[in-house]
Structure 1
Amino acid sequence: MRLLTPKQVNIVDQYIESLGLPVSQLMEQAGRSVFEVVHRYIQEIKGPKGVLFLCGIGNNGGDALVAARLLTEVPEVTPYVIVCGNPEEGSPLFQQQWKVVHTLEDTITIVPDEMMQSNGNLIPSHILQDVSIVVDGVFGTGFHGELPKRIGSIFEQCKEWRSYSDTRTCIAIDIPSGVNGLTGSADISSFKADETITLLAPKVGILFYPGRQCVGHMSIGSIGYPFPHHALRKSDHNWPEIYWNNADSLYVEPRSPIAHKGTNGHVYIVGGSPGIYGAPILSAEGALRSGAGKVTILSGINELDALRSLSRPEMMIRDCNNVEQLDGNSTVVIGPGGGRSNTDRKHLLQWMQSVTDSHMVLDADGLIAISNDVSLLKQCSYTLGKKGHAVVVTPHLGEFSALTGKSIGELNKDPIGYASAFAKECNVYVVLKGQPTILANPAGRVYLTTTGNPYMGTGGMGDVLAGVIGSLLNQEQDPMNAINVAVYAHSRAGDIALDDCGPGFTPTEVAQRIGRVLPSMDGYVRMIPL
């Protein structure tokens, strides 16, 4: 599913307007979409059937006014309107709708500013007692910074009103007011919605925390025009294409009925050092559980006995200094438990330079090893790219900070932009782990994965993911799809582990559940028994 940034919203608006389609007609359809959501809740209300619209003076407020007008046709419903700002300073489309609403004052109750001021700039209590739904149409996708104090106080009042009854509902139009449409940063008093009806397409910011906590259930409303992919492609705006990664958008290539361990790929894992032997074992577990044909852990000769004592019988353990040639159709995962001493770092860098005919995944200590010499990463991606192989880096924010030289605070201001820029600069696939997890490819396309849960924040979870990515790169033709499937399957397995085990589940338990996720996307059809 395509996502939009605030700048892309403006590009779409300008494009549709250039077609000669009246923008007022789009507002009419947007308002109708809001009306339909509000009406759905009204049908379930057993208490008072008043609906309060909080309107800004931009087009978001205009959408709210359209919905308020349409509600006048619903029996027993009383629409209330509060305008947060001076209507005379509103956008042309807002003022147009405001004039229409004024002709309906016998059916729409407009709360005058004087009444608000006499009540301490808050919503009069007698109005809140008469409504079961509050609709936020104050700010749109372009909001950033802090909310005006008065509006923040009104939103806090709405939160308190909502907390007294489960039969009361808060609905946001397009994005909850106070949430940044790009980064998801949010004012502490942002409107907290039970449902957000986002128009045309979800906005990027509503998938990021803390803004995501204000969204509630998300539905998509029509503006009367389909998504104009071609308009964004033609624009000179160089922001990447951003998509929401979910099960509906993923597909796993059907496994051939005559597949064997050779065709299913060989995952080599380079890592393991004193005290962190579990990391390569967990990566191997992730690779096995996602269908790898063979899995081999490569480590120093002094580490082999410890690794064998922890490994499964399906995992091969070999001396990394005694490998003449890697199998074809393989991926090398470099870094899990690899160590950070100068000797360890030198060893990992040598391995990176030695891989010439396989996909490569750099994780954990592999990322730290190369962070002081990003030019080597570019060299690896160039060498492998000529043969159609992908290089994938899987940092968390701390590791990405080391790779980019940017502070974590700076990265958090624009994680998509930094991930996309790094992917392009180094010609690699970047999996920036977090919530959401960001996948950026060298061609300027970005996917956000929002499955997963905070109980996955434990040591070893990323090692499992690196193994899953390594495994699926061998099984899928398109590296982007392989990585997307891996990230989704890993995070969804974490959700299943939470359901099965409760908080405190382990990375091993996540790996064991990946096989329950992949069949939902796998095109393989089981043969009828003869």
Structure 2
Amino acid sequence: MTANPYPRALYTVEQVRALDHRAIDTLGIGGFTLMQRAAAAAFASLRRHWPQARRVLVCCGPGNNGGDGYLIAAQARATGFAVEVIELAAEARGDAARAREACLVAGVAPCPWREGAALPAADVLVDALYGTGLSRPPQPAVAALIERINASGLPVLAVDVPSGIDADTGRRPGVAVQADITTSFIAAKRGLYTGHAPSHTGVVELDELDLPEALWREQPVDAHLLAPATLPPRARDAHKGDNGHVLAVGGDHGTAGAIRLCGEAALRAGAGLVSVATRPEQLVALNSARPELMAHAVNGPQALEPLLGRASVLAVGPGLGQGAWGHALWLTALDSGKPLVLDADGLNLLAREPRRFEQPAVLTPHPGEAARLLGGSVTEVQADRFAAARALAARYGAVVVLKGAGSLIADPDGRLDVCPWGNPGMAAGGMGDLLTGIVAALLGQGCTPWEAACLGVGLHARAGDAAAREGERGLMPSDLLAPLRRLLNGLPT
């Protein structure tokens, strides 16, 4: 594969098409030449990942993605592989028709897909059914083929995009191929890194098809993948006052665990001081479990005011509740003008009483909370997570972390980053409380809201991946605290 000149850049489907057209129209590189390069890159990936394979089954659609598949089949046959091709239709046009003819010349006769038919025996299956243009559910006959592919037990290489995935949004409008490797071309499609897509792409590889760097220079970038990062070492004469005082507000009846996780994460993320404003009955448990947290009994706004005066950053929402106690503390905290991170019931209260933030603020909703904040549905949020995250940031004047597979970080100015780490084991109660404390601690150590959100999301997800080495099921939020500390200090995990 060629060296990626913009390794973190993510593009919309429309932007990738513009790059493709520029290569053809401006640089004079023919469409069929690009198709040949794509096929060569995909076949090289197949041989690299499955070096023992000798039988290849290629499933081709009628468009250019199918054209890539026909050429992969031709290359495989020329290399001595046993090759079978299943095609949706023999109606390929343009470069795809030329690729189909090359497949025939190589001695591989495509067979039409018959619903209900068995798949030929193979060592590896190549998915070249649909490319970036699909944004609707596959037709029933194609859906049946995709289901047969997924049930085959064969390793799958997806060409450019797993068929059935919307490459622009990560949405899965119907059934979709579950690939082990996705070899994508020219530029990284943003939808492959969020939503349903990570469950279908497997490992995503990118090949720029030997195109010159000049091709990308004038093309705007829609988003970026987060890069691993941490904070610089502390000065040798640092003291606790240099590293922020986080006040975590929450822990209504029965939810002491939420506010403890938030506070402990803030400590592990480097906050100099962490106070907790909570119900009186939570004090014994908090002081016994984590004496480093300065827990205070707070019955209402008057008791909260002096704590707000000493804090530099607020973490509001974990276990807060939406009753009178939680609402009063929420309102007092927001009116203080202090920089803050808002999560959980802090967001649910914001949905009931919207405001645009003047102070530095980070909101960390999951899709359900995002839907309430936007006045829509979870389905609408997940249909275009990029649009939802940007709409939230613009509406509330805050940096927004839209959590989920491929968490998104959006700034009111339109910037957006995508987190490439994290795992299903992190789908457990309390993970969001950790993130709230981490981001608040980073704010307290001098990060801007954008920096704190990006760094915090990355550290949180990478710590989750480190903890999941012992298995994803059974992963607890507190398991992230040890690797979090190591990552924040630039140590191996």
User: TM-score interval w.r.t. the shorter chain?
Assistant: 0.7 to 0.9
The equivalent of 1:407 in structure 2 is 377
The 5-angstrom pairing of residues 199-218 of structure 1 reads 199-218=185-204
The 5-angstrom pairing of residues 440-451 of structure 1 reads 440-451=410-421
The 5-angstrom pairing of residues 127-138 of structure 1 reads 128-129=120-121, 131-138=122-129
Q: Pick the aligned partner of 1:504 from 460, 474, 480.
A: 474
The equivalent of 2:361 in structure 1 is 391
* Superposed CA offset, 1:63-84 (max 9, x none): 223333333442x324444432
Question: Aligned equivalents of 1:41 and 1:276: distance in 2?
Answer: 47
SS of residue matched to 1:262: helix
The 5-angstrom pairing of residues 43-122 of structure 1 reads 43-45=51-53, 49-74=54-79, 76-87=80-91, 90-102=92-104, 104=105, 107-113=106-112, 120=114
- Aligned amino acid, residue 218 of structure 1: V
The 5-angstrom pairing of residues 310-329 of structure 1 reads 310=288, 312-318=290-296, 320-323=303-306, 326-327=309-310
1:461 lines up with 2:431 in the alignment: yes
Contact 2:16 2:186 in 1 (8 A): no
**CA 1:463–1:325 in structure 2 vs 1: closer, same or farther (change >3 Å)?**
closer
Contact 1:281 1:310 in 2 (8 A): no
SS of residue matched to 2:243: coil
The equivalent of 1:350 in structure 2 is 332
Q: Pick the aligned partner of 2:218 from 208, 228, 231.
A: 231
Shift in Å at residue 196 of structure 1?
1.4
The equivalent of 1:40 in structure 2 is 48
Contact 1:268 1:295 in 2 (8 A): yes
Q: Pick the aligned partner of 2:36 from 28, 36, 41.
A: 28
Question: Aligned equivalents of 2:90 and 2:288: distance in 1?
Answer: 69
Contact 1:272 1:303 in 2 (8 A): no
1:337 lines up with 2:313 in the alignment: no
The equivalent of 2:3 in structure 1 is none
**CA 1:33–1:293 in structure 2 vs 1: closer, same or farther (change >3 Å)?**
same
RMSD: 2.9
Shift in Å at residue 470 of structure 1?
0.4
Question: Aligned equivalents of 1:169 and 1:352: distance in 2?
Answer: 52
Structure 1 length as normaliser, TM-score? 0.81
Question: Aligned equivalents of 1:277 and 1:210: distance in 2?
Answer: 33
Contact 1:29 1:222 in 2 (8 A): no
Contact 1:34 1:64 in 2 (8 A): no
Question: Aligned equivalents of 1:62 and 1:502: distance in 2?
Answer: 39
Name structure 1 gaps, 5 residues minimum: 234-239, 385-389, 523-530
SS of residue matched to 1:371: helix
Contact 1:268 1:331 in 2 (8 A): yes
SS of residue matched to 1:44: coil
Structure 2 length as normaliser, TM-score? 0.87
- Aligned amino acid, residue 48 of structure 2: R
SS of residue matched to 1:323: helix
Question: Aligned equivalents of 1:482 and 1:230: distance in 2?
Answer: 29
**CA 1:507–1:150 in structure 2 vs 1: closer, same or farther (change >3 Å)?**
closer
**CA 1:153–1:308 in structure 2 vs 1: closer, same or farther (change >3 Å)?**
closer
1:155 lines up with 2:146 in the alignment: yes
SS of residue matched to 1:436: coil
Shift in Å at residue 93 of structure 1?
2.0
**CA 1:424–1:175 in structure 2 vs 1: closer, same or farther (change >3 Å)?**
same
- Aligned amino acid, residue 170 of structure 2: G
Shift in Å at residue 468 of structure 1?
0.5
SS of residue matched to 1:110: coil
Shift in Å at residue 438 of structure 1?
1.9
Question: Aligned equivalents of 2:319 and 2:262: distance in 1?
Answer: 10
Which of 430-439 and 495-504 deviates more? 495-504
Contact 1:469 1:482 in 2 (8 A): yes
Contact 1:494 1:510 in 2 (8 A): yes
Q: Pick the aligned partner of 1:269 from 229, 234, 248.
A: 248
Which of 10-19 and 409-418 deviates more? 10-19
Contact 2:124 2:156 in 1 (8 A): yes
* Superposed CA offset, 1:205-249 (max 9, x none): 33345443332332222322257554332xxxxxx82223353xx
Larger Rg belongs to? 1
- Aligned amino acid, residue 282 of structure 1: L
* Count of aligned positions: 478
Contact 1:270 1:297 in 2 (8 A): yes
**CA 1:339–1:133 in structure 2 vs 1: closer, same or farther (change >3 Å)?**
closer
Sequence identity percentage: 29
Shift in Å at residue 427 of structure 1?
1.9
Shift in Å at residue 446 of structure 1?
1.9
1:243 lines up with 2:224 in the alignment: yes
Q: Pick the aligned partner of 2:208 from 211, 219, 222.
A: 222
Name structure 2 gaps, 5 residues minimum: 1-7
